[in-house]
Structure 1
């Protein structure tokens, strides 16, 4: 596995500086965000010089670009909002292809119109799934043309809440370009350490063969998120199970401060 971190963990809008900070903190790869190049995360366009700056920053820092963020609300109740998100996603996918980034990460969305990461009771309705799936099919057509993969992450507040939901969507879409981003802390809300371990283990078994990236975020038993190693996620068990199913991609941490990054790198590297 390759140890990585969200680029946005580090302040700055110059790719070379941000990626150098990634390397200096002890990471070899990153999930990049166009905000780290002084652009909106989901821009209307990416200038050629911005693409060049990102490429040079990766080369000079020696940091691999494992993924590019392309998140928008794929289940927003307003179709015009979804249409605008898809238009911007096309820009992100084209940028990923230009940079040789193999994966664009998505958000399967929420019926919550104000926050794509917030729960809404209509998320579990067939209509919400249908809207998200229709959006995903359009996104996959773009990805297949560009030759990049799309990564969906099960999240308790989104349409896809579990590894089982994710594999169902992969079957429905019938595309080898749809993959899973697996974050153990997003697979449960309130749990004991034993319950959390069992939930995560079952998710890895379900998602095996479809995991393009793993995330390393933690959670307390009362539902609060935590820095990796500070909550109830059993990271030694998590990484061992990922290895056991043949996963050898990027393990990317997030939800931490820049000051915490070196310590988390040491913790995770000790498990790899």
Structure 2
């Protein structure tokens, strides 16, 4: 996998160990992965936070969710990851990114702030960013709400993982560059990484915005590249929504956009600790 990633022009990965358990994974297994990635010259930019329900009013369930995220941060540190990506979870039992009216209540926001505060020390101890990803279907459904939550948590280790598609609406689908600029203007101080995902509106009588492989929709990736680069040249931009078969095309697209924008992408032969 590492060699396929390098061949496609990428310097690192974001990986999800969905069937793994951060509460029981052995440190020696994490060290083995860390050594393998180092040997292959591939950085581990993010791992998953296991998408726990951090907004529930059930304190027993919320407490367990916090413990899993805390363990995910520790495990990410053992693996040498820069950060973890986690959503807030959802009250919808069908999945952590699906809609539910209780996701959008003041109580859910309060619980999310509490949960993130309880995870902040684990992030600091591990030296790993806890990067909150948001979406219009979950509690931080707008960038304004996300900014309010992260301001309340007030930790340099609890940050925003900005996903290019997740806050695009019908009103902004044909001006994604304007939407990106507005989001970065509001949240730039919190952003520490980004997911590059495309989006388009489909020809249906019910509104349907479909996200997917970069290059297939209307996302203004040059603006995304430029705004993230302006925050910090070391912040990673992570391709999302593509299949393994599409990886090379996405790599070529991203290298072209960066080249045209005068942005340096980490060469696959460079050391990951110098990653940009």
Range of TM-score over shorter length = 0.7 to 0.9
Does residue 1:269 correspond to 2:249, yes or no?
Answer: no
C-alpha change, 1:192 and 1:163, in structure 2 (3 Å) is closer
The CA deviation at 1:34 is 2.9
Q: 2:37 aligns with which of 40, 55, 58?
A: 58
Aligned partner of 2:123 in structure 1 is: 143
Cα distance between partner residues in 1 of 2:243 and 2:145? 31
- In the aligned structure 2, how far is the partner of 1:241 from the partner of 1:144? 26
**1:26-175 pair list within 5 angstroms:** 26-35=9-18, 39-40=19-20, 42-70=21-49, 71-175=51-155
Stretch moving more, 46-55 or 248-257:
46-55
The answer on whether the counterparts of 2:173 and 2:200 sit within 8 Å (CA) in structure 1 is: no
Deviation at 1:63, TM superposition (A): 0.5
CA deviation profile, 1:196-237 (whole Å, cap 9, x unmatched): 322221001112232111111111124011211111111112
Of 70-79 and 251-260, deviating more is: 70-79
Distance 1:102-1:245 versus aligned 2 partners, 3 A rule: closer
* 1:77–1:224 Cα change, 3 Å: farther
State how far apart, in whole Å, the 1-side matches of 2:171 and 2:40 are: 40
Task: Quote how far apart the aligned CAs of 1:90 are.
Answer: 2.3
Q: Which residue of structure 2 lines up, in the alignment, with residue 15 of structure 1?
A: none
Structure 2 unpaired stretches of 5+: 202-207, 259-276
Residue of structure 2 in register with 1:198 after alignment: 178
**Runs (5+) with no aligned partner, structure 1:** 1-17
Cα deviation for residue 185 of structure 1 reads 0.5
Residues 151 and 178 of structure 1 are in contact (CA less than 8 Å); yes or no, is this contact kept in structure 2?
A: yes
| Aligned partners of 1:19 and 1:57 also within 8 Å | no
Aligned residues: 251
CA apart distance, 1:80: 2.9
Partner Cα distance (1:271, 1:76) in 2? 41
Aligned-pair CA distance for 1:191? 4.2
TM-score by length of 1: 0.85
Matched-pair contact (CA < 8 Å) for 1:143–1:177:
yes
Verify the 8 A CA contact 1:193 1:234 in the aligned structure 2.
Answer: no
Aligned-pair Cα RMSD in Å: 1.9
Q: 1 CA distance for matches of 2:182 and 2:101?
A: 25
Q: CA deviation at 1:122?
A: 1.9
2:225 to 239, 258, 271: 239
Q: Distance in 1 between matches of 2:175 and 2:108?
A: 29
Once residues 68 and 188 of structure 2 are traced to their aligned partners in structure 1, the CA distance between those partners, rounded to angstroms, is 30
- The equivalences for 1:223-262 within 5 A come to 223-246=209-232, 248-262=234-248
Give how far 1:111 is off.
Answer: 2.1
**Residues of 2 paired with 1:148 and 1:56: CA distance?**
18
